[in-house]
Amino acid sequence: MRGGASAGTIDGVRLLFADQLGPHFYADLADDEQVLLVESRQAFRRRRAHRQKAHIILTALRRLAHDLDGRAILVSAPSYGEALAGLGIDPREVSVVDPTSYAARRWVREQGMTVLPARGFTLGENDFQDWLGTRRPILEDFYRWQRRRLGILMEPDGEPEGGRWNFDADNRLPPPKKQRTLGLPEPAYPVEDSIDAEVRAELDTWDDVVLVGDDGPRRFASGRAEALAALDDFVTYRLATFGPYEDAVLEGDWVMAHSLLSVPMNLGLLDPLEVVDAVVEAYRAGGIPLQSAEAMVRQVVGWREWAWQLYWALGEEYADGNALGATTPLPDWFAELDADAVQAACLRSALRDVRDRGWSHHIVRLMVLGSWALQRGYEPRQTAAWFRDSFLDGYDWVMVTNVVGMALYADGGRMATKPYASGGAYLDRMTDHCRGCVYSPKVRVGPTACPFTAGYWAFLDRHEPQLRGNHRLAQPYAGLRRLADRDAVVAQEHARGTAAP
Ligand SMILES: Cc1cc2nc3c(=O)[nH]c(=O)nc-3n(C[C@H](O)[C@H](O)[C@H](O)COP(=O)(O)OP(=O)(O)OC[C@H]3O[C@@H](n4cnc5c(N)ncnc54)[C@H](O)[C@@H]3O)c2cc1C
Ligand code: SF4
């Protein structure tokens, strides 16, 4: 055990999971109550994780223990149960904020802990269920209801500020031509300290844990002060540009105008409403276009909350969905983030982002990595586990909507009205990868055939019986029927198998 207290000396204890590390998870405790933090190497032994994810979790736990000084007990134990037993703490004396996975929720109840409603989100799960009732889950409806309910960017008459709920049409600009970056200042990254050095040295000795990805300077906040600084940095330097270039990708600019706040938010270091407040405040102060402020609000009280709420509302078995019957195991080069094995510039760059930092932005996740997994029929459970474990912000609750629903269409269309399969034409428009690629986005067959273009057609061909009735795919299927080289494309992609493109 690390840190520790002797048996029988602890009265009121709040167990904080490693994604509950901000003040809103413990500020309600009485002065004599303590916070219990558990480091579990065992948890990392159970499945592979990105090296930088292990780093940030351990760093965040130790940083909070340090910041709380004498009020936190930080123990290292194989499991939470063994941590409690080792300290002589009766679980029935422990309070806990409802955790973020089905398994953890079962466990805290089995232990007889006092379970408090979830925090770190904007709405209780029961309130969401009341709102949802029997209606079809549609994000836009939920988002507008959230805006009204929370009074965010609303006029007194109940209409949205600027007269529009949605600026998506203005926010789909391709990357600026002839620029390698958006030209924004480098984000103010956290400065590593002795806690990072200690964790890094310890991880170097972990020979019984499979860590993927490269080590590298820590780019994401792991403590409250760092998280607030990251929020301030985003609002000051990137928020204004966030909206218009939300969907654009530049190979030389891994951040673009994104916030980098999912990691601290998902560690529980920032409350989503404080992020929204900072965004709205900056908009009111001037200099931030409404289309950017609205875009960020939409991401946080719309998409993030949607992912969280649907994780619970759709039930645990939703994650087992495999509507397209995808059974391909993840090839090693993909599973192990071997970017150097890949020639396709877009996929190589995406895997490099994940290998080097355990993060990439939304369009890279959805339209490059997710689309590749969809087209190639990667098994959904394995793919969701890969996203969860390779990304620093990955947790079970975020996977169901984004991976099972959006990226893989494994729920048969409950979340997305059509599969998000991207061909080379889309990637050529929204990224600058194609011009430096060995393949050509317009070529379907032959040595320079773009694997995304050919893969797109081969995907449509493979799933024609299931998907041809989808009216949103009427045009693509009409296109497929007109393809003179359809058989050759399908045979070529079949022959590609699971090889790195
Ligand atoms: C296949 C796939 C996997 C994803 N995996 C994760 C994940 O493991 N963890 C995660 O937090 N997000 C995930 N997302 C959503 C989104 O890509 C990330 O939240 C975002 O890229 C994080 O970077 P950022 O903080 O700079 O986000 P920004 O682009 O700055 O957006 C602001 C915030 O909005 C929230 N947000 C935006 N979109 C979503 C969304 N679709 N779902 C949930 N929150 C959203 C995030 O909290 C994010 O920090 C995934 C999306 C896809 C398509
Ligand atoms: S040509 Fe195809 S594989 Fe190459 S970068 Fe463009 S979309 Fe990706």
If asked whether residues 330 and 478 sit together in one domain, one would say: yes
Residue 190 forms part of a structural domain: no
Q: How far is CA 380 from the centre of its chain?
A: 16
Q: Are residues 433 and 376 in the same domain?
A: yes
Closest atom, ligand 1, to C-alpha of 259: 30
pLDDT of amino acid 11: 60
The verdict on 334 and 286 lying in the same domain is: no
**CA-closest residue to ligand 2 atom 8:** 346
Q: Are residues 17 and 78 in the same domain?
A: yes
Contact between residue 31 and residue 188 where contact means Cβ atoms under 8 Å apart: no
Residue ending a domain, choose from 116, 141, 173: 116
Are the C-beta atoms of 307 and 147 separated by less than 8 Å? no
- Give the structural domain span for 109: 13-116
Question: Residues lining ligand 1, CB < 6 A?
Answer: 258-262, 265-266, 299-300, 303-304, 307, 361-362, 365-366, 370, 387, 391, 393-394, 398, 402-403, 406-407
Q: Which residues have any ligand 2 atom within 6 Å of their CB? A: 344-346, 424, 427-428, 433-434, 437, 439-441, 450-452
Cα 147 to Cα 300: distance, rounded to the nearest angstrom: 11
Specify the pLDDT at position 226.
98
Does residue 154 sit in the same domain as residue 107? no
Domain at 328, CATH number:
1.10.579.10
Distance 362 CA to ligand 1 centre (A): 6
CA of 299 to the centre of ligand 1 (A): 8
Instruction: Give kind and range of the element (H or E) at residue 480.
Output: helix 474-482
Integer Cα distance of 467 and 461 in angstroms: 9
User: Taking the model in full, what pTM does it have?
Assistant: 0.95
Strand duo 114-116 + 94-97: pairing = parallel
Does any domain span residue 22?
A: yes
291 lies in the same domain as 393 = no
Q: Whose CA is nearest to atom 3 of ligand 2?
A: 344
Give the count of domains, the chain: 3
* Whether residue 142 is found in the same domain as residue 286: yes
207 domain-assigned: no
- Domain membership of residue 175 (yes or no) is yes
| Gap from CA of 61 to ligand 1 centroid (Å) | 22
Ligand 2 centre to CA of 483 (Å) is: 20
Residue where one domain finishes, among candidates 65, 91, 116: 116
HEC secondary structure over 140-199: HHHHHHHHHHHCCCECCCCCEHHHCCCCHHHHCCCCCCCCCCCCCCCCCCCCCCHHHHHH
**Amino acid found at 239:** L
| Three-state secondary structure call for residue 201 | helix
Residues 307 and 374 reside in one and the same domain: no
Residue nearest to atom 5 of ligand 2 (CA): 434
**Based on the domain organization, do 357 and 482 belong to the same domain?**
yes
Closest by Cα among 430, 464, 459, 450 to 501? 450
Tokens of 381: 């459970």
* Same domain flag for 109 and 28: yes
Q: How far is the CA of 387 from the centre of ligand 2 (A)?
A: 22
Question: Do 394 and 487 sit in the same domain of this protein?
Answer: yes
Q: Which atom of ligand 2 is nearest to the CA of 433?
A: 5
For ligand 1, mutation pick of 393, 399, 409 (most atoms within 8 Å of CB): 393
Q: What is the pLDDT along the chain (501 residues), one digit of tens a residue?
A: 444 333 334 468 999 999 999 999 999 998 889 999 999 888 888 888 999 999 999 999 999 999 998 899 999 998 999 999 999 999 999 999 999 999 999 999 999 999 999 999 999 999 999 999 988 889 999 999 999 999 999 999 999 999 999 998 888 899 999 899 999 999 999 999 999 999 999 999 998 899 999 999 999 999 999 999 999 999 999 999 999 999 999 999 999 999 999 999 999 999 999 999 999 999 999 989 999 999 999 999 999 999 999 999 999 999 999 999 999 999 999 999 999 999 999 999 999 999 999 999 999 999 999 999 999 999 999 999 999 999 999 999 999 899 999 999 999 988 888 998 989 999 999 999 999 999 999 999 999 999 999 999 999 999 999 999 999 999 999 999 999 999 999 999 999 999 999
Query: CA-CA distance, 57 to 72, in Å (whole number)?
Result: 16
Confidence (pLDDT) at 416 = 85
Q: Quote the CA–CA distance of 243 and 291 in Å, as a whole number.
A: 6
pLDDT at 3: 41
> The domain that contains 83 carries what CATH number?
3.40.50.620
Q: Does 269 reside within a domain?
A: yes
Q: Has residue 224 been placed in a domain?
A: no
pLDDT on residue 45:
87
Question: CA 484 to CA 215: how far, in whole Å?
Answer: 48
The domain boundary residue, chosen from 82, 116, 150: 116
Q: At 339, which amino acid appears?
A: A
pLDDT at site 9: 42
Which residue's CA is minimally distant from atom 6 of ligand 2?
Answer: 434
My answer on whether 133 and 280 are in the same domain is yes
